[in-house]
Chain A
Amino acid sequence: MRLPIYMDHAATTPCDPRVVEAMLPYFTEDFGNPGSRNHAFGWKAEEAADNARQQVATLLGADRKEIVFTSGATESNNIAIKGAAYMYANAPAGSTKRGHIISSPIEHKAVLDPVKRLEKEGFDVTLIDPPQDGVITRQMVEDAMRDDTILVSLMWANNEIGTINEIPEIGKLCHERKVLFHTDATQWVGKMPVDVVADAVDLLSLSGHKMYGPKGIGALYVRRRRPRVRLHALTDGGGQERNFRSGTLNVPGIVGLGKACEIAGAEMDADRERLLALRKKLEDRVAKELDVVQINGHLDKRLPHLTNISFGFVEGEGLMMACKDIAMSSGSACTSASLEPSYVLKGLGVGDELAHSSLRLSFGKWTTEEEVDYATSHIIEGVKKLRELSPLYDMHNEGIDITKIEWAAH
């Protein structure tokens, strides 16, 4: 077993060597611009991009004409949300009541911030308050809908806790109400099955580097039939990607994303079963050997390869320091530049203290049982060591309710 161990696949994944191999010729020999319509270099590049477009479409159950290549999920989200809002606005720029948008406060910032910008620009926004289990249901969306709702944007699976929103039910509701449905599926695609038709999705964002593809490439699925989705372009220029996204195509990245999608389609079912068993092993052992631990988010409706656990009375960054050989992430304030604990965990009402005490582990296709066992042992040891140091654990054991103490916030 090689150290350090990587258990942060929700942040990014290593590139599959088969993906890198597929990309290499497009840096050197086949470097053409697909926009060059009059020579062999351009044709070759165009053919490669078309082939990749088909690979992405196949994984999603889409038509290849519905795939727009972008620089990643952040750009896909921006194009989908702002592009749809501007296209379907009820009133022109500069006015209010331009239309109603539904999202949730535990979305990724790449969704939340575009939505907040639109709010400043005269759109009305409802952020559905998630329940403590983190799952947004069709009923919650239905309750938030208004006559002037134009867009619903809800992630498929959450990046911090892995919880899965009620899709396809939410998409079906949107179609009944003739409202566009966008989903940020960054954590979902390549790990879980997608059928954009059956799942009633109109716009879907995905990212290459979360699924063993390269960084700097992503895609946006834009539905062409029932309904035909139109978008206001955010980038003006050469009119590439059916005018949705101008700019010379990143051909090596596109080829890599295509290959990653092809591999995912073939291998994800087996990976999923294996990783679910490993996660169960980790969670069972943690629950057996430690007291006051809590798994954050719905216990069943969550991604199989990810777990987010709060270890009471232990601070997350301190715990990560005890597990130097394991790469993972924490909702602790100390790990963020803002010194604020995870807004996702806070949004669930987990409480700031448990947010500070959380660890997120996300497995990948090359995660082994030996690595999971090693990580489990070190985390348990680390928690025990830090509880020896923790004044809060002492108080807990003395029967003092720490929520009743008047702490001086600083």
Chain B
Amino acid sequence: MAYSEKVIDHYDNPRNVGNFGTQKDVKSRTDIGVGLVGAPECGDVMQLQIKVDEENGIIQDARFKCFGCGSAIASSSLATEWLKGRTIDEGLAIRNTEIVEELSLPPVKIHCSVLAEDAIKAAIKDYKEKRASS
């Protein structure tokens, strides 16, 4: 099946690739939340990092890395775009169905959008937990 133009665009020019440091580096940073979801044996793994302004709870920056198909890469790339500038509560409100719609994902690729939503939730949860324990 053919990919939508938006999937191809994100795949060819992925936004916000990278991280704010190695796994070890970011562990102690209370302003950074990390989400690592999926599994290698399932064929997709997403890593999402968010950098939050601890004063106002606004996500200043987001970075991703993804092992997966084009739709998985596009879903996580899109997630980083959408997260920037939102508060963490607004981030939590992002639904996978919005990603499906934006990228015109076919039914067989819906799980990629679900994984992106999971990654967002996991990153925000990680941020909140770090703040609570600091």
A interface residues (Cβ-Cβ under 8 A, vs B): 313-315, 317-318, 321, 332-334, 337, 339, 341, 351-353, 356, 386, 388-395, 398, 400, 402, 407-410
Q: Given the interface contacts A317-B70, A318-B70, A339-B108, does A391 sit within 8 Å of B42 by beta carbon? A: no
Say which residue of A321, A351, A410 sits within 8 Å of B38 (CB atoms). A410
Say which residue of A314, A333, A337, A341 sits within 8 Å of B67 (CB atoms). A314
Q: Given the interface contacts A321-B69, A394-B65, does A407 sit within 8 Å of B43 by beta carbon? A: no
> At the interface, yes or no: B36 with Cβ under 8 Å from chain A?
yes
Instruction: Give residues of chain B (96-111) contacting chain A, Cβ–Cβ below 8 Å.
Output: 108, 111
C-alpha spacing A333/B47, complex, angstroms: 20
Say which residue of A317, A394, A407 sits within 8 Å of B40 (CB atoms). A407
> At the interface, yes or no: B115 with Cβ under 8 Å from chain A?
yes
C-alpha spacing A334/B73, complex, angstroms: 13
**B interface, by DSSP: helix, strand, loop or mixed?**
mixed
**Smallest CB-CB separation from B66: which chain A residue?**
A389
Max count, chain B CB within 10 A of own CB: residue among A315, A352, A398: A315
Query: B34-61: contact bitstring with A at CB < 8 Å (1 yes, 0 no)?
Result: 0011111111111100000000000000
Say which residue of B36, B39, B40, B72 sits within 8 Å of A318 (CB atoms). B72
Q: Are B39 and A410 closer than 8 Å at their CB atoms?
A: yes
Q: Are A402 and B70 closer than 8 Å at their CB atoms?
A: no
Residues of A within 8 A of B65 (CB): 389-391, 394
Residues of B within 8 A of A407 (CB): 38-42, 45
**Smallest CB-CB separation from B7: which chain A residue?**
A321
C-alpha spacing A321/B1, complex, angstroms: 12
Residues of A within 8 A of B22 (CB): 394, 398
C-alpha spacing A402/B125, complex, angstroms: 22
Q: List 16 A-B contacts (CB under 8 A).
A: A315-B44, A318-B69, A332-B69, A334-B68, A339-B111, A352-B40, A352-B43, A353-B41, A386-B67, A390-B65, A391-B45, A391-B66, A394-B19, A398-B22, A407-B38, A410-B39
> At the interface, yes or no: B14 with Cβ under 8 Å from chain A?
yes
C-alpha spacing A394/B44, complex, angstroms: 15
Q: Are B73 and A318 closer than 8 Å at their CB atoms?
A: yes
Q: Are A315 and B68 closer than 8 Å at their CB atoms?
A: yes
Residues of B in contact with A, size category: 20 to 34
Residues of B within 8 A of A339 (CB): 108, 111
> At the interface, yes or no: B23 with Cβ under 8 Å from chain A?
yes
**Smallest CB-CB separation from A356: which chain B residue?**
B43
Say which residue of A388, A395, A409 sits within 8 Å of B42 (CB atoms). A409
> At the interface, yes or no: B20 with Cβ under 8 Å from chain A?
no
C-alpha spacing A341/B42, complex, angstroms: 8
Residues of B within 8 A of A333 (CB): 42-43
C-alpha spacing A400/B47, complex, angstroms: 15
Q: Are B39 and A313 closer than 8 Å at their CB atoms?
A: no
> At the interface, yes or no: B11 with Cβ under 8 Å from chain A?
yes
Minimum distance in angstroms from B78 CB to a CB of chain A:
14
> At the interface, yes or no: B93 with Cβ under 8 Å from chain A?
no
Minimum distance in angstroms from B113 CB to a CB of chain A:
12
Q: Are A390 and B66 closer than 8 Å at their CB atoms?
A: yes
Say which residue of B3, B46, B118 sits within 8 Å of A391 (CB atoms). B46
C-alpha spacing A137/B41, complex, angstroms: 29
Q: What 6 additional pairs, Cβ within 8 angstroms, besides A333-B42, A398-B23?
A: A313-B67, A389-B65, A390-B65, A391-B47, A400-B23, A408-B37
Minimum distance in angstroms from B64 CB to a CB of chain A:
8
Q: Are B23 and A395 closer than 8 Å at their CB atoms?
A: yes
C-alpha spacing A409/B40, complex, angstroms: 9
Max count, chain B CB within 10 A of own CB: residue among A333, A341, A391, A407: A391
C-alpha spacing A339/B111, complex, angstroms: 10
Q: Are B38 and A389 closer than 8 Å at their CB atoms?
A: no
Max count, chain A CB within 10 A of own CB: residue among B43, B46, B111, B114: B43
Minimum distance in angstroms from B88 CB to a CB of chain A:
22
Q: Please give me the 5 A-B residue pairs with the lowest Cβ-Cβ distance, nearest first.
A: A407-B39, A352-B41, A391-B47, A391-B65, A356-B43
C-alpha spacing A313/B40, complex, angstroms: 8
Residues of A within 8 A of B14 (CB): 389
Residues of A within 8 A of B40 (CB): 352-353, 356, 392, 402, 407
**Smallest CB-CB separation from B40: which chain A residue?**
A353
C-alpha spacing A352/B72, complex, angstroms: 18
Residues of A within 8 A of B17 (CB): 388-389
Residues of B within 8 A of A390 (CB): 65-67
C-alpha spacing A226/B38, complex, angstroms: 57
Residues of B within 8 A of A356 (CB): 40-43
Q: Given the interface contacts A390-B67, A392-B67, does A315 sit within 8 Å of B36 by beta carbon? A: no
Minimum distance in angstroms from B20 CB to a CB of chain A:
13
Residues of B within 8 A of A351 (CB): 41
